[in-house]
Structure formats: structure tokens, C-alpha cells
Chains A and B, each alone.
Chain A
Amino acid sequence: MKLNHKFAQKIGLLLLNVFFIALCFIVLIPILYALSISFNAQGGLLGSDFRFIPRAFTLDHYRAVLVDQPLFLWFGNTLVLAFSAVGVALSVSVPGAYALSRFRFGGRQKVFSGLLLLHAFPAILSMFAIFRLLSPLGLINSRMGILIIYVGTMTVFGLLNLKGYFDSIPIEIEESAAMDGAGMWHTIKSILLPLARPALIVTGVMVMIFVWNEYIYAITFMTGASNYTLAVGLYTLQATEMTGSWPVFAAASILVSLPILFIFFATQKYMTTGLTAGGVKG
């Protein structure tokens, strides 16, 4: 009977693995399409006999991106921006979310629903106003300017997302810590943040990916070539009817996505709460 159960479990796991492998393949089809174009020595975006493994294989398109384009400059710019944005966004969101979650104060509910509502305004429509705001401050074509935009855009998400997780952590844990005489910041640091680690990671990764792939603000506000981020650089490589090459563009797109995947894979490990499961949570 027990053996039977184990056997059934094994079959189930096998099926689950098969399911996920199939799913991964289906999800990857457009990516594999791009991959195939980027390695194909002949032909462009379209062709009447497309195959996933190109007949004539080449690395030229990758060479064109890595050698002919200042990819590492873009990469460096993006990295600085992305990490600053994650750092700043988390530093402002954590205390804010804590306040929203733990303090009962006048206007709390209003702030909360106000934040939700603000998210309704299409960001694309704000472009012109943001330009009018940053231009007199000399923050156009500056990293500081774009950082403010990114943090401002993502803070709403950070606040709300972290608040949601904080809410799920029973307040009693902190109260006992407070009784031991720990201050608010200490409580946040030593109790709340470890417990909310998945939330911090989700928020951080979210900000990271946003900055990494954001191009609408970046192409408009980071106009100098020395300030280009990866997304802007990629955008300038875009194939149009007259210029650019789809294979090179595809190769660049793949290269731009890889670091994000790496970061995602690396952070997976930490996607558990800091305290051992089954401990204090109710």
C-alpha cells in the first residue's frame, strides 16, 4: 500500500516534469525564433522555410553587437541605474510600507486608496509634464533625472506590495520585541525584513526588470549617446525598413535579456523567509 503510494507519487512527479518541459518549450517559441534569426547566416526576419536550427550558422551578428556597439558602456549605465533604483526604491518603500501597515493614523486609508488610484493614470501621458518638471532643473539627459523618474514610478508598487506582505505578518511578534525594548527600526530590521524576504526580493527584482527594460522614458530623456542604457541602445539598433538588421537586433535582444535571467535564477535561492518555516508564523 505504501509502496503503491510512493510509486504513484513518482509517476506524478514524472508527469509534472514532462508538463513543465513542454510548457517551457511553448513559452520559449518566440525566443527560439529570435535565437534562430540571430544565428542564421542567411535571411532576415522572415523566410519561407524557417527552421529553429539554421542551416548556415554564424556568430557574426553577435560579433556585430559586441564589437561594433558600445554594449559594455550601455551595460554599465544600466547596472548603475538599476542598482541605484532598487536601492533607493526599497529604502523609501520599506519605512513607508511599514507605516501603512502598522500605524493607525489619520489619513492612512486615504493614502492607501490614493496610491491605488494614482496608478490608474497612464504613465505615457505623464511624459510631457515630467519633461516640463525636469527640464528647468537641468535633469534632462542626466542619470539623476531618470533615477527620480524610475523610483517615482516604482515606489507605488513597492509601497503597496510590501504593505501587503507586512500585513500578513502577525503584529504580536513585533510587540514582543518592542516589549524587550527594541526600537521601531530595530524591529523592522531584525524581525520584519527577514520574514518579508520573498517580498523584498519580488519588489527588488520587479524594480530591476523595470529599469532594465524601460525604454520610453530613457529614449526621451537620456538623449546623449554616453548615457544610453541597454534598452535605449537596443532601441537604436531596431530594424526599420531602411536601416538596421533584424538578425543583429535579435542578437542584441537576447544578450540584453540574459543578465535578467541570471539575476532571476540567482535570487531564487533566497526566495524563502529568513526564519525557518513553521516557526513563528500563525
Chain B
Amino acid sequence: MKLLFVCLFAALMLTVLASCGGQADEDGVITLVIWHDKEAEVAAALQTKLDELAPDIIVVLERKSGLTETLKLVGNSPGAAPDMFFFAHDKVGVYSEMRIIVPISDFVDAALLDLFLPKTIEAATYNGRVYQLPLYFETLLFMYNRAIMPDDDVPTNTLDLFRFMQRHTGGGHFGFVEQFNNAYFVGGWMHGFGAEMISADGVPMLDTPEMIAALHYYGRLMRLMPNEAEFATINTLFREGRAAATIGGPWLIPSIREAGIDLGIAPMPIVSETGLPLAPFMGVQGLHVLRVAAENPVRNEAIRTVLNHLISTDIGVALAQASGSAPALAASFDLPVIYNDPMVMMMLETAQTATPMPNIPEMDIMWTVAAGMLVDINFRGHEVEVAAANAQRRAEDLIALMR
């Protein structure tokens, strides 16, 4: 019987081992793996472009949920880590500190980087080096439902927006909704008041007078918003025609159109108090190269080919159209298909004032702390000044603990 157990055990181990697939490359053909978290349409567009490199280089796109967390763990581990990943620019600080990624300038001539909109390159620059090949960028947009908010009713400033909300909120309907507990969304308001969550050198700025003013102002609007702040609720309200306007990402547009909403897109309202427009965060999506892949000479060469192959307006435009975003190559905006697209041009306009999401490691903490601060104010009824001071102290403590 003992023998039986041992045999059983060994047999099982062997079957399991034998069924382990290796990722060996066949002669001359090299397979690169890119992780991403994008919509199927975006992945398909990128795949089409990368298939042009076959049969010498095969690129496999794998969708990963929780990509950022997995990378933190396996990012330095050959065999488990991918060769590249396709993600927003805001994690380059963390990954470069952990030596998971290498600068893009190792693969792409500096002169070629000048072809991109400066802001997209600036977004991915950490400690003076560029860590991402930008493909497209996105900002939040002011969207409205023409059936409830006719074009000439669209507020140009926040005071008008507030008055519109007062008139149109009630009975399960809302004048304006957005994810009011999410710092990514409220960030636009903070910037519109001249506040920022964190300074460039990593000092939290949650209790500045500008921030307090922004939070006070926002608190008045918040009272006219729904009971839930999370994305499913907010987006469903707008899709069902129960909210006249929202500030949301371009990724919403296909489902909004599908729901039969007559969608309008307008410039961000001007903050009446400061004269500045709401300035949402900007996210640049692009490719990052992993160190473990770059250290392998064969892969290194293939990665160079892939990256340079992607510096072309056609793929930028294809991706931008698939994602509803704006291409990162400056020359794209000379193409009729882009400059005739009002939504993309609106995004370009918003991007003039938008703030790229900070890419320093400290920002990871700010998202959590700032969200906590918003919940304290919006749901727990804490005084703005108290909540801001608490959050500031908390952020300082946590950042001190990072080292």
C-alpha cells in the first residue's frame, strides 16, 4: 500500500511535469509577449500592425487583469515576465526604481522621440529618461445628452453648470454626474482651482488653500449627485438618459452610442472663481520594455524592430480610433481623418491644459489617500479643512514609510 502511494505520487508528478509547456523559440523565429489591459478592439488593431513583422518576429498580446500588481512581483523574473507591456505611463517611476523596465531611448533614436507631442514624452520621463513609447493618449471629456441638455444650454463655466444641476436634479434624474469619490475624476477640479495632489518632487499638497477651495466648491456639486460614486452606477445613469451630462473617458462612447443617446461633447467648463478650465488628468498609453527581455541580445534586437515599426501615423490613428483617444505622433493631426474628428480634436484641446498623471512612486499612495479624503467629505460629512489636514498628514506619514 505504501508502495502504491509512492507510485501514485510519482506518476502524478511526472504527468504534471511532462505537461509543462516550454516557450522555446523555433529556429530564426522569435516570439515576443506583450501584456496589456486594453479593449479587444485596441488589441486587435495593434496585433494587425505587428503581424506585418511575421514570420521573423511573432508578437503575442496577452490581456492581463491586475497587470500592475503581477508585474511588481514577476517583473524581474525571466520566463514569467513578458517582454513588453502596454499600459498607461503613470507606473514608470515604480517600475524604473524596481529596475523592471529600461528606458525606451535604448531602442529608439532621440530624434524620433521629437516626432511625438512633447506632452506625451514628458509624461513618461522619469529621472530625465523616457520609459515609454507613446501610442495614444486620453483625457476625460465633458459629455452631454442632447435630449436633456440642448447645445445652447451647455454650461461654459462651473456656475452655469451648478445652476443647470439645480434645475435638473430630482426624482431619480440628475443634471450632472461623475465619479465624485475618485481622485482621477476630481483631479480635474483640483487643477481648475490651481491645486495639485502632489508636487513634482513627491511632497503631498492636500491641504493647500487652493485644494481647500476646490473641495469646498466640489462639495456643493456633490450634494446634487447620486448615492453611489462608483463607475458602474455613474455610467449607467448617463447611458439610461437619467443624467444630462457627465465627465467621463472616451472608452464610454461606444456603449453610450449603442444605448441610443444623442451624445454631444463640449470643452471643459471654466471654473468661475479662477478663470481656469477644468483640467483633467491625461493618460498616455504605450509600450514599456522589461529589463529581463532587453538583456537578452536576440530579444533586444527584436524589441528594437517592433518599437521602430510602431512609430508611424497609421498605427497611431488606428489605435486612437479603436480606443476613442488621440494619437501621440504630432504628424497624425495633419491627417483629415483626425482633424475632421471633433472628439479627437476636443481631446487635443483638453490636453493643452491637462496634467499628465504624475509618474513618481509616491503617487501610488496619493490615489488611495485622496480617495479616502473625498469619501470623508462626501459620504461621512467631515469638515473640508479637517479631512484635508488628516489626509495630508496621512500621505506624509505613508510616503515617509516608503523608504
Give chain A's interface residues, CB within 8 Å of chain B.
Answer: 44-48, 80, 84, 87-88, 91-92, 94-95, 127-128, 131, 135, 138, 140-144, 147, 183, 185-186, 188-189, 219-221, 223-227, 235-236, 238, 240-243, 246
Give chain B's interface residues, CB within 8 Å of chain A.
Answer: 1-2, 5, 8-9, 12-13, 15-17, 19-21, 23, 33, 37-40, 60, 62-66, 69-70, 73-74, 77, 79-82, 172, 231-233, 235-236, 240, 242, 249, 251, 255
CB distance from A72 to the nearest CB of B (A): 15
Q: Are B17 and A243 in contact (CB under 8 A)?
A: no
A246 to B236, CA, bound (A): 12
Q: Are A44 and B236 in contact (CB under 8 A)?
A: yes
A-B pairs with beta carbons under 8 Å apart, 12 shown: A46-B236, A80-B15, A80-B19, A91-B9, A127-B73, A141-B80, A188-B1, A219-B65, A220-B73, A235-B66, A242-B251, A243-B39
Contact A223:B5 (CB < 8 A) given known A45-B232, A47-B236, A236-B65: no
Q: Kindly identify which residue among A44, A84, A183, A220 contacts B16, using a CB–CB cutoff of 8 Å.
A: A84
A64 to B399, CA, bound (A): 44
A236 to B64, CA, bound (A): 6
Contacting residues, chain B, for A238 (C-beta < 8 A): 65
Q: Are B17 and A95 in contact (CB under 8 A)?
A: no
CB distance from A143 to the nearest CB of B (A): 5
Q: Are A48 and B240 in contact (CB under 8 A)?
A: yes
Contact A223:B74 (CB < 8 A) given known A46-B236, A88-B12: yes
A189 to B33, CA, bound (A): 49
Q: Are B37 and A243 in contact (CB under 8 A)?
A: yes
A88 to B15, CA, bound (A): 12
Contacting residues, chain B, for A46 (C-beta < 8 A): 232-233, 236
Seed contacts A185-B2, A223-B70; 16 additional CB < 8 Å A-B pairs: A44-B232, A46-B232, A80-B15, A94-B5, A135-B77, A143-B19, A189-B1, A220-B69, A220-B74, A221-B74, A223-B80, A225-B62, A235-B65, A235-B66, A236-B64, A241-B251
Contacting residues, chain A, for B80 (C-beta < 8 A): 135, 140-141, 221, 223-224
Determine the residue in chain B with the shortest Cβ distance to A77.
B19
A226 to B15, CA, bound (A): 17
Q: Are B1 and A225 in contact (CB under 8 A)?
A: no
A186 to B1, CA, bound (A): 7
Contact A140:B17 (CB < 8 A) given known A48-B242, A219-B66, A242-B251: no
A144 to B22, CA, bound (A): 13
Contact A131:B251 (CB < 8 A) given known A140-B79, A225-B60: no
Contact A80:B38 (CB < 8 A) given known A223-B70, A223-B80, A243-B251: no
A168 to B174, CA, bound (A): 64
Contact A140:B63 (CB < 8 A) given known A241-B231, A242-B39: no
Contacting residues, chain B, for A224 (C-beta < 8 A): 21, 23, 33, 62, 80
A92 to B2, CA, bound (A): 11
Contacting residues, chain A, for B12 (C-beta < 8 A): 84, 87-88
Determine the residue in chain A with the shortest Cβ distance to B39.
A243
Contacting residues, chain A, for B66 (C-beta < 8 A): 219, 235
Contacting residues, chain A, for B21 (C-beta < 8 A): 224, 226-227
Q: Which of B1, B69, B232, B235 has the most CB of A within 10 A?
A: B1
Contacting residues, chain A, for B5 (C-beta < 8 A): 91, 94-95
A128 to B74, CA, bound (A): 10
CB distance from B195 to the nearest CB of A (A): 24
Contacting residues, chain A, for B231 (C-beta < 8 A): 241
Contacting residues, chain A, for B17 (C-beta < 8 A): 143-144
CB distance from A261 to the nearest CB of B (A): 25
In the A-B complex, the 5 residue pairs with the closest CB atoms: A185-B1, A140-B80, A242-B251, A241-B231, A46-B236
Contact A138:B79 (CB < 8 A) given known A223-B70, A227-B21, A238-B65: yes
Q: Are B1 and A140 in contact (CB under 8 A)?
A: no
A235 to B62, CA, bound (A): 13
Determine the residue in chain A with the shortest Cβ distance to B242.
A48
Contact A91:B8 (CB < 8 A) given known A84-B16, A223-B70: yes
Contacting residues, chain A, for B33 (C-beta < 8 A): 224
Contacting residues, chain B, for A92 (C-beta < 8 A): 9
Q: Kindly identify which residue among B9, B60, B255 contacts A88, using a CB–CB cutoff of 8 Å.
A: B9
Q: Are B60 and A144 in contact (CB under 8 A)?
A: no
Q: Are B242 and A143 in contact (CB under 8 A)?
A: no
Contacting residues, chain B, for A44 (C-beta < 8 A): 232, 236, 255
Determine the residue in chain A with the shortest Cβ distance to B2.
A185
Contacting residues, chain A, for B60 (C-beta < 8 A): 225
A226 to B23, CA, bound (A): 10
A44 to B39, CA, bound (A): 16
A202 to B175, CA, bound (A): 55
CB distance from A53 to the nearest CB of B (A): 20
Contacting residues, chain A, for B249 (C-beta < 8 A): 241-242
Contacting residues, chain B, for A88 (C-beta < 8 A): 9, 12-13
Q: Kindly identify which residue among B63, B236, B240, B255 contacts A236, using a CB–CB cutoff of 8 Å.
A: B63
Contacting residues, chain A, for B64 (C-beta < 8 A): 219, 223, 236
Contacting residues, chain B, for A135 (C-beta < 8 A): 77, 80
Contacting residues, chain A, for B79 (C-beta < 8 A): 138, 140-141
Determine the residue in chain B with the shortest Cβ distance to A49.
B240
Q: Are B232 and A223 in contact (CB under 8 A)?
A: no
Q: Are A143 and B251 in contact (CB under 8 A)?
A: no
Contact A243:B1 (CB < 8 A) given known A45-B232, A223-B70, A223-B81: no
Q: Kindly identify which residue among A47, A138, A189, A221 contacts B240, using a CB–CB cutoff of 8 Å.
A: A47
A229 to B262, CA, bound (A): 42
